[in-house]
Structure 1
């Protein structure tokens, strides 16, 4: 099969460029984007229509005077409102489909907008059946639509990990910053970028004509010409002294009319999401970085969700926790629980609860194992730790040993999502930068949990925790909680 051939139900071209291929037969990288977008729109439309029809048919007959009130007008109106809200909120924009939490944030905003309009319309029309559509139909549409979007995203991510459905990128900047971009795109292929070519200030890389295996095709002044000739979908501009405001503006002008999207990496690499805003001040575009949110209404919502979520999970997991406790006691001498001092928000210490996974007195044997430490930075880790019991090995693999931490969440010392709770000796060795992890409550799960856990280098674990502190949002928490389930089931990086 040639590169770029159809290998999937709907998206086609992978974006791979073949040597010697001319413009007429080269696959357009935008084809799969357009097909994927159409698939999402069709899926949203079908799902909305089906849910509205089912709700109206099986529940709308109650107290309905005729079929119009049963589901005809209200059902059709609800569907139009939802689809219109999706269009207005740009929930079908190619830039957000399959990309991070923004896709689901826009989806949620659209459905909330539809609910508000529907409620106001129901009041104006004095409909007796409007509550059904506000409190049952729209939430059902939201649930089914989000599941459908997630399944489509899983399919897309599998294609990208196989090297398909990727957007070809031309990276332009300093070789060191370009190399970092290449490394990140290879590490996270599900994000959909593949750096195919590089432009550097001198037209050469540290490896002669290559930067980390990617060919250098020219100088920074030649970027627009290469984009128009070779059809790259993304121009990633990385930091370099060459990029003055005038040159960046000229590059943007030269890219007009092409299919390429220009992306400029800011100096504040770890600040993103809702904290970044572009404002025009005195005719000058400025990147405004708002302060991280540590208080306010959203934090109150997070506290409420934490307490209610922990209480609900404790009720659901109670039989499992009793079984685990019995297995721990039966497997080795000692109690079922292990208590340990950890450092929480603002440096306050608290006692964390876990199921015991090691033999009694394991902390006294740590010194003898110091020369076998496989952990990174301040963490002590062993893949085959002789102190871990047989039951403890299974509990650690599937993170069942952390279930008692729900009590810490319920009492307010921890959150469902947040940075990893450090030991006091770890916290004492923190520098000023790393201490920013302590500005928020530690979490039962977090970015570190869904990104590799114990397999992560220390620097990467710290970077993820700081990113969470800087860019926290309710949508990010929702995505992390959803992905935690998959991370736990696969057991990757847990030992």
Structure 2
């Protein structure tokens, strides 16, 4: 046992940074600064906008009421969990806490002033909450961006020990390593005695037995224990380990054998003390709803009108370069595999399709989601058209016709569809899109397997809110040009 403990110390390295404990304090300081600015802006606005200041003589009351309201607002954010360690960096809980606290504070202030017959400036009240809520959300968004950036660069890491069978340990590790912005650093794993190995297939060192998880966690300075499938033999043993870890301030996370399912589809319902995880049906059928189609028609029509000058400029550039066709038309697989003519501005030489077989052979590629840097078929204007995704704009007419959607998996040619295996054909359950989840997650820098995984996640977990978020992120991806070639 002593040898195992010494090996653990050698593998996991030094103690974790204590900077993590100051993250809530830093966010609190940012929120306080934002509230001071909001209070000052509301006071200034009340003075400048005369229609918000019908009654004089209440300004003096703001000297006392203003700071109290700001302090109460921050206290309410804290009460609803806005400064919990696990509230930062991911999910919507952080933003929900800010929104809920803001409405609760506004309601309590209004009711309190009415019951106490306190003459609070209505102009200041309206401006404070009208500016304060977006301001708090913006400050939290900025804090989240900074936190994720720090975690991607190796700072503010949470040390994680995984308990389970080697295969399930690797599944959890793959997800946590892929989502580096979460800040979870795998320091090791523990397994049952019959599964004991030096390290798992992905290189996670096995530091001991699952029955000794508490001792190993302390020795590895772990902040979190993730219990994957097969880590312990019974619910009783799990309960006892959770009690032991709780006494030592180590957090516990249970990772069931479910992945790529959005939280909106998962509900936990305890039955007789047993937590049952209910998974709703996939939502691909909702992606064909009337609301999404209306959104596509209105959105594409507005974009065509707004981007008219860009269409004209791109057309001129392509024609002047080689006097060839302006548009590239190609048969692509749409919803349920029905073929349609996909439109793009031509970015390659006219005989580009004839050269594809030769390029696939040279690149030793199977043809699924084929892209290559420095493709010799791309023309000079085609490079900037691709760099800023201008070549995709004619597909707005495909959206209007109903062949495509603004958001969805990218349409593929029949040669690529023929390579589908397993669940890949689920991509064809929805209309293909001009942009999608994998485009805003790295575009062509992602492997074909990762791009396919993101497309399948979109199909099974569709929501209108996710579509809007993807469109917003698409603008950033286009400007940065990351992964575009």
Q: In structure 2, the residue corresponding to 1:35 is in which secondary structure?
A: helix
- In structure 1, the partner of 2:461 is 471
Check the 8 A contact 1:101/1:479 in 2, yes or no: no
Check the 8 A contact 2:331/2:342 in 1, yes or no: yes
Of 157, 163, 166, which aligns to 2:148?
Answer: 157
Distance 1:132 1:361 in 2: 67
1:33-56, CA deviations, whole angstroms, 9 ceiling, x for partnerless residues? 333442454355346545544554
Check the 8 A contact 1:298/1:474 in 2, yes or no: no
- In structure 2, the partner of 1:227 is 217
Check the 8 A contact 2:102/2:129 in 1, yes or no: yes
Q: In structure 1, the residue corresponding to 2:371 is in which secondary structure?
A: coil
Asked if 1:197 corresponds to 2:188, the answer is yes
Distance 2:108 2:149 in 1: 37
Distance 1:292 1:112 in 2: 33
- In structure 2, the partner of 1:264 is 254
- In structure 1, the partner of 2:55 is 66
Measure how far apart 1:421 and its partner are. 2.1
Check the 8 A contact 1:56/1:70 in 2, yes or no: no
Of 159, 179, 190, which aligns to 1:188?
Answer: 179
- In structure 2, the partner of 1:388 is 378
Check the 8 A contact 2:337/2:428 in 1, yes or no: yes
Q: Which range is displaced more, 282-291 or 397-406?
A: 397-406
Measure how far apart 1:453 and its partner are. 1.9
- In structure 1, the partner of 2:243 is 253
Check the 8 A contact 2:406/2:434 in 1, yes or no: yes
Over 3 Å counting, the alpha-carbon distance change for 1:297 and 1:216 in structure 2 is closer
Asked if 1:356 corresponds to 2:346, the answer is yes
- In structure 2, the partner of 1:178 is 169
Over 3 Å counting, the alpha-carbon distance change for 1:244 and 1:445 in structure 2 is farther
In the TM superposition, 1:27-106 aligns within 5 A as: 27-28=17-18, 30-39=20-29, 41-42=31-32, 45-46=35-36, 48-49=38-39, 52-53=42-43, 55-59=45-49, 61-62=50-51, 64-66=53-55, 86=77, 90-100=81-91, 103-104=94-95
Over 3 Å counting, the alpha-carbon distance change for 1:439 and 1:109 in structure 2 is farther
Q: In structure 2, the residue corresponding to 1:395 is in which secondary structure?
A: helix
Kindly indicate which of the two structures has a greater share of residues assigned to helix: 2
Q: In structure 2, the residue corresponding to 1:434 is in which secondary structure?
A: helix
Measure how far apart 1:295 and its partner are. 5.8
1:123-160, CA deviations, whole angstroms, 9 ceiling, x for partnerless residues? 999x9x989987x8766555444433332222212211
Distance 2:124 2:364 in 1: 57
Distance 1:296 1:394 in 2: 36
- In structure 2, the partner of 1:10 is none
Distance 2:33 2:475 in 1: 25
Check the 8 A contact 1:205/1:211 in 2, yes or no: no
1:305-350, CA deviations, whole angstroms, 9 ceiling, x for partnerless residues? 4444434444443323322222122223323322333333343443
Over 3 Å counting, the alpha-carbon distance change for 1:386 and 1:18 in structure 2 is closer
- In structure 1, the partner of 2:139 is 148
Distance 1:350 1:114 in 2: 54
RMSD: 4.1
Asked if 1:399 corresponds to 2:395, the answer is no
Measure how far apart 1:227 and its partner are. 2.9
Over 3 Å counting, the alpha-carbon distance change for 1:352 and 1:284 in structure 2 is same
Check the 8 A contact 1:53/1:71 in 2, yes or no: no
TM-score normalized with structure 1 length: 0.79
Distance 1:176 1:243 in 2: 16
In the TM superposition, 1:14-25 aligns within 5 A as: 18-19=13-14
Distance 1:428 1:475 in 2: 32
Distance 2:44 2:271 in 1: 51
Check the 8 A contact 1:101/1:475 in 2, yes or no: no
Distance 2:393 2:450 in 1: 25
Asked if 1:484 corresponds to 2:474, the answer is yes
What number of residue pairs does the alignment pair up? 470
Check the 8 A contact 2:24/2:83 in 1, yes or no: no
Measure how far apart 1:302 and its partner are. 4.4
Distance 2:254 2:104 in 1: 32
Distance 1:87 1:475 in 2: 27
Measure how far apart 1:397 and its partner are. 2.3
Q: In structure 1, the residue corresponding to 2:325 is in which secondary structure?
A: coil
TM-score normalized with structure 2 length: 0.80
- In structure 1, the partner of 2:398 is 408
1:349-381, CA deviations, whole angstroms, 9 ceiling, x for partnerless residues? 433332211122322332333312465652333
